[in-house]
A = this chain, B = another copy of it.
Amino acid sequence: MEDIFNLRYALDTFYFLVSGALVMWMAAGFAMLEAGLVRSKNTAEILTKNIALYAIACIMYMVMGYNIMYPADGNGYIPAFDFSFMFGGDNVPAEVLATSADGWYDGSYYSGMSDFFFQVVFVATAMSIVSGAVAERMKLWSFLIFAVFMTGFIYPMQGYWKWGGGFLDGLGFNDFAGSGVVHLCGATAALAGVLLLGARKGKYTADGKINAIPGANMPLATLGTFILWLGWFGFNGGSELVISNVEEANAVAAVFVNTNAAAAGGVIAGLITARLLFGKADLTMALNGALAGLVAITAEPLAPTPLWATLVGAIGGIIVVFSIVTLDKIRIDDPVGAISVHGIVGMWGLLAVPMSNTDANFVAQLIGLGTIFVWTFVASFIIWLVIKLIMGIRVSEQEEYEGVDLAECGLEAYPEFTGTKGSGL
């Protein structure tokens, strides 16, 4: 039996590591998506933000976030955390391995290090959502300081309440892979930042006009979407946590199929909605539709039939188009649509869970949604505000006009391509 246990442990660990690597790849997806959707003069800076926020997420989650989110103890609201993880030793506890071969393994163990690896890339995903929404006008270092608090404290706290076994978990709140814990959380932090930051110069004019500010590089945005789609198989597929028997393997496979189906539904719905509203097959809405489908299915990718998963994604794809239009109308300037894709559609994902999963109920979903939103909004708003008061969060008007690349990074993203055409609005 010991050999079987060893093998199960190894397979589950390997599955977790592969899933984590796919989620890590999503960091590249966000970087490419956002770099494609901003103007060329702000591209190097958004790339810098994306790679730096990923690095900060990895360091802060190692230093304290992981211990907050999965504490040795806690009362369901406040975790009893420590700083042990960064000093290592977080694989299978010795006392577990010391028991007899028949006793130590209950079919749900895998390397603790692989668990950390999988969790840490989720934190980075949540933070990546923020960078797009505040693009083209936020100070680089103010953003990075916010990332320290977000990934070390704000995200892990609400993560503890659900996945760490806290009070939201006790209430019966369902969120399989994080429509709420990851996507709504990231979008809410973004919203708080955008409200304090204001819109880009020239986006909304005094006479009520809304100017479209086209992204500089559509192939890059499309590549980013495909990367995210691929990475989502790790994001949702890995969230089943184990794969090493028939039932679990079937579950993981169903999650893959449904995740893919929802994205497909989102693409078609986004494209057709855009065609009906704008008269054109707007590529950016197809991309946002794909991402909306993925966000929507993330709260419950296991229970639906493939057809229902497609519909959940398609409804997400319709919602996202209307949400983007509406946010523009109320002058919330989100250059890449991140608040709509991850926030509004994240809410839809949470509320859709009880429609396919009979163990879920709307009341618990609403409490979870509300808790994540209120906590993240209030905590983020305070942090953003303090940063704003101390060092400012917005670049100068001159820097914004010339592009943040030169001001913040001292280089251009495409020095040979844009000539004089890329300057200004």
Residues in A lying within 8 Å of B, measured CB to CB: 1, 3-11, 13-18, 20-22, 24-25, 27-28, 31-32, 35-36, 39-40, 43-45, 47-48, 50-52, 54-56, 58-59, 62, 85-89, 91-92, 97, 110-114, 116-117, 120, 140-141, 214-220, 222-223, 225-227, 229-230, 233, 237, 243-246, 248-250, 252-254, 256-257, 260-261, 263-268, 271, 278-284, 286-287, 290, 304-307, 310, 408-419, 421-422
Contacts and interface: CB of A to CB of B under 8 A. Distances in A.
A250 B91 CA distance: 6
A20 B255 CA distance: 13
A59 B283 contact: no
A65 B286 CA distance: 23
B305 A7 contact: no
Contacts of A52: 267-268, 271, 281, 286
Given A21-B233, A40-B416, A283-B409, 4 more contacts: A88-B305, A91-B250, A282-B410, A284-B411
Given A219-B47, A249-B111, A306-B86, A10 B244 contact: yes
Given A6-B246, A246-B92, A410 B113 contact: no
Given A24-B230, A283-B409, A417 B417 contact: yes
Nearest to A408: B281
A10 B246 contact: yes
Contact of A230 (B21, B214, B266): B21
A230 B286 CA distance: 25
Contact of A13 (B7, B253, B280, B286): B253
A423 to B, nearest CB: 9
Contact of A419 (B8, B88, B243, B421): B421
Nearest to A274: B410
B249 A9 contact: yes
A97 B246 CA distance: 9
A306 B88 contact: yes
A54 B322 CA distance: 24
A95 to B, nearest CB: 14
A166 B110 CA distance: 36
A58 B113 contact: no
B411 A282 contact: yes
> Closest 7 interchain pairs by CB?
A280-B410, A28-B226, A113-B253, A88-B305, A55-B267, A58-B264, A111-B253
29 contacts: A5-B246, A6-B245, A10-B11, A10-B244, A13-B249, A18-B18, A21-B22, A25-B226, A28-B226, A28-B230, A47-B219, A52-B281, A54-B267, A56-B264, A59-B261, A59-B264, A62-B261, A62-B310, A86-B305, A87-B306, A88-B304, A92-B250, A97-B246, A214-B411, A279-B410, A280-B408, A283-B409, A284-B411, A419-B419
